[in-house]
Homo-oligomer: A and B are copies of this chain.
Amino acid sequence: MQNEADYLRDYRAGDFPAVLVTVDSVLFTLIDEKLCVLMVQRANHPQLGYWGLPGGFIDQRTDASTQDTALRKLVEKCGVKPAWLEQLATFSGRDRDPRGWSLTTAYFALIGWQTCQPHIRDVSDARWIPVEELAHIDPIAFDHREIIAVARERLEQKTLYSMVPVYCLGEEFTLTELQGVIEAILQKPIQRKSLVRRFESSEMFEETGKMAVTGARQAKVYRRKAGVDGLNFSRNLGG
């Protein structure tokens, strides 16, 4: 019987028909009170010219995992790393890509648009699209419309029991801005008092000492404490 070393020496990838593997990201931000997603106009076949999610193939030399692929592709388009990145789900099937049986591991990401605006202005093929306008964009590449829908669903759920929406904002923000993102995501008003209670009990934030001028009473400016990542509440907001 063959031993493992012999097996590996004789092993040739490609004996089985390969699955086409990609990695795509759904990157959200908030612009003008509107939840937006970063879309890229495809520069190659197939579906050249279609709007789709930023992503692409794994580079086996540089990527230690699909998360690295996602980050690499996002940095290409935005110039900076997203403030939040987590795996969403893997979408697969025979018909989702015309080249054959394929699979994409999708990531879910958040960033403050201010952070990457300079870079996106230069990359003419990338654009922030308000999620409400997606319905009017047709076609959309592959199954990316469905992937975005799943990502939105996940974002909504996480908004109910965590502070993730804060990663749609810049480094510094006011409570009213945070409330704005949350309400844009949930598409309904929330109780500011409930938000304040969570904001404080999370201990994820600290005052910068600065005040934001809004035309009336000035608002305290906060930032995320270094090294804090996430905190889940044991109860949902907006019952």
**CB atoms of A98 and B18 under 8 A apart:** no
User: Quick check: is A121 within 8 A (CB to CB) of the other chain?
Assistant: no
User: Quick check: is A212 within 8 A (CB to CB) of the other chain?
Assistant: no
User: Quick check: is A94 within 8 A (CB to CB) of the other chain?
Assistant: yes
User: Quick check: is A213 within 8 A (CB to CB) of the other chain?
Assistant: no
Q: Residue-by-residue, is A154-178 near B (CB-CB < 8 Å gives 1, otherwise 0)?
A: 0000001000000000000000000
Within 8 A of B (CB), among A57-101: 57-58, 60, 64-66, 87, 89-90, 92-94, 98-101
**CB atoms of A99 and B21 under 8 A apart:** no
Residue of B nearest to A13 (CB): B18
Within 8 A of B (CB), among A103-124: 103, 105
User: Quick check: is A48 within 8 A (CB to CB) of the other chain?
Assistant: yes
Residues of B within 8 A of A47 (CB): 4
**CB atoms of B105 and A8 under 8 A apart:** no
Given contacts A11-B99, A65-B92, contact A17 B60 (CB under 8 A): yes
User: Quick check: is A235 within 8 A (CB to CB) of the other chain?
Assistant: yes
Give A127 Cβ to nearest chain B Cβ, in Å: 22
> Which size class do A's interface residues fall under?
35 or more
A121 to B140, alpha carbons, bound, how many Å? 49
Given contacts A87-B90, A236-B234, contact A48 B4 (CB under 8 A): yes
**CB atoms of B2 and A13 under 8 A apart:** no
Residues of B within 8 A of A160 (CB): 234
Residues of B within 8 A of A19 (CB): 18-19, 21, 58, 60
Given contacts A18-B13, A65-B92, contact A101 B58 (CB under 8 A): yes
A105 to B21, alpha carbons, bound, how many Å? 12
A21 to B64, alpha carbons, bound, how many Å? 15
List residues of A whose CB falls within 8 A of some B CB. Answer: 2, 4, 7-8, 11, 13-14, 16-21, 45-48, 57-58, 60, 64-66, 87, 89-90, 92-94, 98-101, 103, 105, 160, 234-236, 239
Additional A-B contacts beyond A13-B99, A235-B235 (7; CB < 8 A): A2-B45, A13-B100, A14-B14, A19-B58, A60-B94, A64-B94, A234-B236
- Sorted nearest first, the 7 A-B pairs with minimum C-beta distance are A7-B45, A18-B18, A234-B236, A60-B101, A235-B235, A66-B92, A90-B90
